[in-house]
Structure 1
């Protein structure tokens, strides 16, 4: 049997997680991106719209679509930033806060089930490897440098 590459395993796993969350969110008329946005917005103070995209790792056009959908569903309201009148703060509505708790419960359930089936030591190793991969990418040590291949052996 052909050995699977690390990127294939990561991609296939993320696609499965994403599909699972989207299937669950669709039961409530939402999507995984909406759930993630709900969890990323401070439930008491809101969040500047300019900070939400980077926090979620989302492209501006995708974020705009997600926020528009959330606004149409009555999950958020946009308010002028009292500190900087040019900026906008995104606040959760009462319904948004309820859906945020539902999203939070789904994420915690996912974590609980994984923790029930994966020993802590293996989970710690997984987290350590994932963080190392992220660091290598951020430091451009995979494709950003001609000598990355030789310096990391």
Structure 2
């Protein structure tokens, strides 16, 4: 099997192209795709507990901490003690962060609309069905069940 014919290669190559595309837009706003992703995952009204952001986005705590520090330095977010849990910190958007979040959202909407306009409803449904199946197989840890371990 050639690598170009494998599902994992297609997923990885496509995601890398999407990430590059988003990063090319983000750099125009003195940002990165990762920062935009964080902005989109912060509750714009109530903030989001810092401990919930990493798992919500599938990001390692070290990477997230570095991104949050940079975003705080740029004035996009601020930290506030969580009134419901004194041990926790809420990440909240500044007005500047909200503006950046709205811009990020427009790029995501534009991407999705452009892709959807090139596909049929059935193709879109099939795409989501395939990704759902892949995620289910991964979550069930059933992909490598038949490979013996030492």
TM-score (norm 2): 0.94
- Runs ≥4 in structure 1, deviation > 6 angstroms? none
Structure 2 unaligned regions, length at least 5 = none
Structure 1 unaligned regions, length at least 5 = 148-153
Task: Give the match for residue 23 of structure 1.
Answer: 24
Task: Give the match for residue 141 of structure 2.
Answer: 140
Cα distance in 1 between the residues matched to 2:109 and 2:7: 26
| CA apart distance, 1:4 | 1.5
Map residues 2-81 of structure 1 onto 2, 5 A cutoff. Answer: 2=2, 4-81=5-82
TM-score (norm 1): 0.92
Task: Give the match for residue 122 of structure 1.
Answer: 123
| CA apart distance, 1:47 | 0.3
RMSD: 1.3
| CA apart distance, 1:146 | 3.0
Task: Give the match for residue 151 of structure 1.
Answer: none
Cα distance in 1 between the residues matched to 2:80 and 2:24: 31
Cα distance in 1 between the residues matched to 2:108 and 2:85: 33
> Deviations for 1:57-76, whole angstroms, at most 9, x for unmatched residues?
10011100110110011000
